[in-house]
Structure 1
Amino acid sequence: MKLNQILSILNQIEKSKFITFLDKLCLSAASDDEGISEALNKVNCQIKDASGSEITQLFKAVSLQYKKSVYEKLLLCDASMALLINILTRDGNCIARISWIEQLYAREWETLDVLAKKIKLDIDNNLTEDYGHEHRLSIFHNCLNVAYMNDEKINRQANITDDERSILNALAHHLKISKDEVVAIEHISEPIKTGKQTVENCLQELRDMGVIFINRKSSEVLIPDEVVSILNQIQGKQLADKHLLRILRVLSDPELSNILKSYGKRTRSVSRSEKINTILHSGIAVRDMLSRDLYDEADSQNKRKERLKQLIIELDIDTERIGFTLEERIIVILESLNTASDHEFDAISAVGFKEMFDSIEKNFIGVDITGQPETLSQRIRQEFELEENELIHVERLRALNITPHDVLYLLNNDEIKVLRDCLKLSKKGNPRFNILEAFANANDKLIENYEALAKRDLYTLKSVGIEISEAELGIKFEEVTKTILEQLDLVVDEELRKSINTTKDKTDIIISISDDDIIIGEAKTCKNGDFAKYSTTSRQIKAYVTRCENQGKRVAQVLIIAPSFSQDFIDSAEMDTEVNISLLTAEGLKQILDAFKAKRRPNFSARLLTKGGLLKAELIAKSI
């Protein structure tokens, strides 16, 4: 979840530690940085009174100083903090209940302890100096002990300094020791603390640092996507696990075996899925994989460069220049995947994502690691470490920054081909991209026939190949309306809508036009004639307005979208003194969208929807 979204759902007390930390950073850096000084001046140097979007801009301006300050604070923390941060920054853990984080920490500690005991046994039983994997582990263990003993010799608390850490990291790289083994060896020398109290203390320290937010009402920890990115940089993590999984999915079995062999991992009688799982959880640096580990030793530099060129094509990375050297091509892959999320959410609408998710949930039956049948929701829970009782739906996935591409890459290559065939899609090309394209195109077709959808015209919809039941028409119209508004670059706030809705009062759409100002949207279908139910609609929207205002939001406008309106409805809306109401026909909204898409640099604002009365779509379209 983005920082701005998190700030919008928390109260002032829950935001206070972050804002105080940001305030100190900005004030100390403003004298040396003109950009930060300008950002501070915009809020009159009063960050506590700034809006969420203004705080987000300040955070961007001071991100380098933020990273440096957090890094220095983390250096003073013990290994339990590093273990917890590794958990919190994993895919799917940016929003999680405290009790669930405690369970994940206990599970991670147990896995680490088992590995540490195994490595200790291997080191103790290794009597040869053959530079095999056990011998290399022994070398690293000895060097680590020296780093600790250097402090003890001068009567200081045993600790690994930043300089010593950089040397140990370089040593691990050349000895081909994976990240999980490094942490386990440190655990041998200096056992990591465990227990509920350890987690609680670490979470409080992170909150005081301005790294995490804690929602006391829901007992949830929230970490903005922007902060996760900075923590990954501090950890030296070059790629999120979900993006590394994409690379591993397109590598061949021999290439996966080469990576495992480089780190002394078992490859005989190991299935493809086990190989991928082992690599994912070993913490092997992706740059090392792409530069040396996946190739045969005899492969020339040109052959390695050609393999990366093919990998760029297989990952469907759209780039003007793939680079000439091996390093340049690795940079293209890493940068493209690290910035992929926003593009992937834009490539398929929220409606298309929901349809894809529902279709896979209906047609997919996988097999888990124990050989038992597994649904898509179960697979997502397992891979993204989500709580068992947590409902899996598209809105939650979007909040966790899990894209449609991420979902498809959770299915292995054989499973995705079976799904493609089940959906009766073309067997040519990449099956994952065929599935994405199919649902993106289906959504485009609904937008093209938006007026027929508004008029509940089943005959027209079926004549253009849109199979939909009459019972689904209202929901589908609401979803497509949201998609159109999103394509107009408006902020459709699903989190706020869900927090405001009750079982009795359920608004269709909420558009955020600032931190405190919103537009309430209602999408109404009508089969015959003009939409004329003003008294019913009026009672609904006034109840929604009251709920929004009780949550501290100012309702700037109510926007009602329907196929057409009766004259009585229009007159009643214009004369209503309790709420400001704008009316827009479905045809008019489609006209505005077409004008928006036709312009190279469209000039559209949500304020154009707040004029009141029946909006003149043709004038709005011309102003774009």
Structure 2
Amino acid sequence: MKLEKILDRLGSIEKNSFIKIIDNIISKNPKNPKEINKILSSSDKGLKSVDNQNISTIFDLTASEFQEHIKCEFQEITSQLDILIDIIIRDGNCIMKQDWFSRLYETEIKNLKNKTKNLNADFENDKSDLSATRKRDYKIYKACLNTAYHNDVENNRDAKITSDELSIILTLSKQLGLSQEEVKLINYSILPIKILDIHEVIKGLKNIGIIFYSNKENTIYVADEMVRMLRKVRQKEVAEKFYRRTLKLLREPIINQIGREHNIDRKLSHSQKIEEIIKEGISFTNLLLEDIYKQGSTLTEKKKALNELCEKGLNISNLKGSVLEDKINSLIEHFENIERDEKVGISLDGFDKLLVELNQSLPKLNKEIKAQFELQDEFVLKADFLLDYNIKPRDILDLISKSDLTKFIKDNGIKQRGDDILNILEHYKDVENLYLENFENVAYRNLNLLKENGITVKESELGIKFEELTKIIFTGLGFNVDDEFKNKLNTNKDMIDILLNLDNNEVIIVECKTSKERGYNKFSTVSRQLKSYQNLALKNDLRIVKILLIAPEFSDDFVTDCEMDTEMNLSLITASTLSNISDAFKASKYTEFPHVLFRDIVINEERIIKALSK
């Protein structure tokens, strides 16, 4: 769930710790002071009185400082912060009831104790599955950590690991090629580990700004933006779902090779080994740099294999970069962009329909998804519910076995030639709703984002498509989009885009403008055009209630020119505002949008949505 949405749910006391940390960062001259001060200058009472959207923006602007703040907390080595963060960044754990979090935490400590015990036994056992080289690596790391932790005791100080010591230990673990799970097990073979009081755990995480806790709902919330930050702190470059998507494309001998390298039980099934590799916290970069190739592969062979994996397996063409490291960084960036994008690749209606039909064909799927993402609810195959956890259609389909996918495709008459998952997504696309969900991208003529979200369209068609979508939105708002009347009025010279017929010779004229450039600024051109439409309507004895101009955004100069115009009753609406008003209208009691609300120069989205919710 996005940070802004979580903040909207909480009271001021529940947001207090988080806001205090950002306030503290702002007071210490952060990297983006101008942008932050611009937001704060509109508020008399500081950050506490800033709206939730702007708090979210300020969090983005202070992200690097906030990340350093979290890293500093790791110096308190007995805090179990590594264990706790590894729980809350797992896919599906961003919203948890307190008792559910307590259960996950206790299970994690229990498993950690068992694994640590087994690792210590492997150290002593000459016949263990650990190779001599791996055992040597473990012993080197353990000896260094032991010295760093206990040298304080010898000097009559509390045992802890300083930031300098921690940076050296982290460098050592990286050079030895240890996974995060291996590091964690060795750490807790030295450090005392016990189950802490869950209320104290939640209080601690809340105080350092990692989680929000709703007392009313007994629920922990971790914002999507925070999950991404915590992954960086734990040096996990991609979400588990993308890691799994990549691993599932690898042949079984390669998975076995990775398993042997990181002490994963060879008796596990292929899919269990994949899950263990993910849990191990093996670096995604290191995996693609070294682990997935045959022994002795040349650099050229590695590049070729990675290109094939991305193009044929992940359907990503033209990875940026000429060297292997750059290509891997490009892939990580691609996954980050997908995760940040709120669009789901198919429409929400299509996602709901997909889940309903998956549940019919594969009745065990609900239980499997619930277990995979550690979800507490009994029935989880609901689009809105899953999207709150940032779980999208592709993430669900990635978890279904090949045989079950084949069965589902046959049961629902889906195309069988080609890639099964892509065929399923195409089948449930629901093009009209998908376009509406991408309304702002159409307004900005953003072909790349449209393509990523499953829409293929020519740039020359975007202007007409934007007009068509705007008509659909106004029809949904209960207006009479009267094309027949408009066509009678239009001349070869004056062509109104959209005419809303209010009856009794009253109309609203709507003009649609798309623009790649940020800040639509062509007021002189568009005002001449709109005035000619106004004269056309007046010649036909029509009363113009309002003229609306829809564009992706407007420059400050454009807004100023509009405010100074005395000849037209003109209001400006951004594409995102119109889309959000449409969503709010669907949930309101109204059957027809009260057009009197269109009274600002720049339509105030917040005011209108508030009015609709009354």
So what's the TM-score if we normalise by structure 1? 0.70
Match of 1:170 in 2: 171
Q: For 2:343, what is the secondary structure of its paired residue? A: helix
CA pair 206-584 structure 1, distance change in 2 beyond 3 A:
farther
Spell out, residue by residue over 1:415-473, the C-alpha distance to the aligned partner (whole angstroms, 9 max, x if none). Answer: 33333333333333221111111111xx12xx3xxxxxxxxxxxxxxxxxxxxxxxxxx
Verify the 8 A CA contact 2:311 2:317 in the aligned structure 1: no
Q: For 2:80, what is the secondary structure of its paired residue? A: helix
CA pair 28-177 structure 1, distance change in 2 beyond 3 A:
closer
Match of 1:427 in 2: 416
- Code of the residue aligned with 1:287 in structure 2: it is T
Spell out, residue by residue over 1:503-551, the C-alpha distance to the aligned partner (whole angstroms, 9 max, x if none). Answer: xxxxxxxxxxxxxxxxxxx9999xxxxxxxxxxxxxxxxxxxxxxxxxx
Q: Please report the RMSD computed on the Cα atoms of aligned residues, expressed in angstroms.
A: 3.4
**Alpha-carbon deviation of 1:614?**
12
CA pair 487-216 structure 1, distance change in 2 beyond 3 A:
same
1:205 is the counterpart of 2:204? yes
Partner Cα distance (2:88, 2:219) in 1:
12
Partner Cα distance (1:31, 1:59) in 2:
12
Match of 1:384 among 363, 368, 373: 373
Partner Cα distance (1:81, 1:74) in 2:
7
1:286 is the counterpart of 2:284? yes
Spell out, residue by residue over 1:469-509, the C-alpha distance to the aligned partner (whole angstroms, 9 max, x if none). Answer: xxxxxxxxxxx5xx67644349xxxxxxxxxxxxxxxxxxx
Verify the 8 A CA contact 1:80 1:194 in the aligned structure 2: no
**Alpha-carbon deviation of 1:163?**
2.8
- Code of the residue aligned with 2:259 in structure 1: it is L
Partner Cα distance (1:523, 1:363) in 2:
38
Partner Cα distance (2:479, 2:108) in 1:
51
- Code of the residue aligned with 1:348 in structure 2: it is I
CA pair 598-431 structure 1, distance change in 2 beyond 3 A:
farther
Verify the 8 A CA contact 2:206 2:213 in the aligned structure 1: yes
Match of 1:410 among 399, 411, 414: 399
- Code of the residue aligned with 1:250 in structure 2: it is L
**Alpha-carbon deviation of 1:244?**
0.4
Verify the 8 A CA contact 1:178 1:284 in the aligned structure 2: yes
Spell out, residue by residue over 1:263-287, the C-alpha distance to the aligned partner (whole angstroms, 9 max, x if none). Answer: 23343x5432122122122221111
Partner Cα distance (1:145, 1:584) in 2:
79
Partner Cα distance (2:251, 2:479) in 1:
52
1:437 is the counterpart of 2:426? yes
Match of 2:264 in 1: 265
1:612 is the counterpart of 2:595? yes
Partner Cα distance (1:117, 1:303) in 2:
41
Verify the 8 A CA contact 2:89 2:230 in the aligned structure 1: yes
Match of 1:552 in 2: none
For residues 334-373 of structure 1, the aligned pairs below 5 Å read: 334-343=332-341, 345-365=343-363
**Alpha-carbon deviation of 1:35?**
2.6
**Alpha-carbon deviation of 1:159?**
1.8
Match of 1:42 in 2: 42
Verify the 8 A CA contact 1:79 1:192 in the aligned structure 2: no
Partner Cα distance (2:254, 2:260) in 1:
10
- Code of the residue aligned with 1:35 in structure 2: it is E
CA pair 301-320 structure 1, distance change in 2 beyond 3 A:
closer
Question: What is the aligned residue count?
Answer: 479
- Percent sequence identity is 26
Verify the 8 A CA contact 2:30 2:65 in the aligned structure 1: no
So what's the TM-score if we normalise by structure 2? 0.71
Q: For 2:306, what is the secondary structure of its paired residue? A: helix
Point out where structure 1 has 5 or more consecutive residues left out of the alignment.
Answer: 366-374, 448-479, 491-521, 526-558, 565-581, 586-590
**Alpha-carbon deviation of 1:329?**
1.3
Match of 1:33 in 2: 33
Partner Cα distance (1:130, 1:215) in 2:
48
Partner Cα distance (1:562, 1:32) in 2:
47
Match of 1:578 in 2: none
Q: Which moved more, 1:200-209 or 1:121-130?
A: 121-130
CA pair 317-597 structure 1, distance change in 2 beyond 3 A:
farther
CA pair 314-186 structure 1, distance change in 2 beyond 3 A:
same
Match of 1:181 in 2: 182
**Alpha-carbon deviation of 1:256?**
0.8
Q: Which moved more, 1:147-156 or 1:80-89?
A: 147-156
Verify the 8 A CA contact 2:7 2:52 in the aligned structure 1: yes
CA pair 30-157 structure 1, distance change in 2 beyond 3 A:
closer
Spell out, residue by residue over 1:217-239, the C-alpha distance to the aligned partner (whole angstroms, 9 max, x if none). Answer: 11001111111111111111111
Partner Cα distance (2:33, 2:207) in 1:
25
Verify the 8 A CA contact 2:264 2:273 in the aligned structure 1: no
